[in-house]
Amino acid sequence: MAGSNQIIPEKIHLNQIKWISANTAISEETFPIQPTYDFVIAYNMMHNLEKKIVKIRLYVDMHGIISKKIVNQGGNYEVDFIFQIDNLEEHYQFIDEKPVFNGMLVATLLGISFSTLRGMLISLWKDTKLSNVIPPVISVPELLKSKRQQ
Residues in the chain: 150
- The β-bridge partners of 126 are none
Q: What angle do CA 38, 133, 74 make, to 5 degrees?
A: 50
pTM for the model stands at 0.91
State the architecture of 9-144 in CATH terms: Roll (3.10)
- Tens-digit pLDDT profile for residues 63-115: 999 999 999 999 999 999 999 999 999 999 999 999 999 999 999 999 999 99
| Pairwise CA distance, residues 49 & 38, whole Å | 36
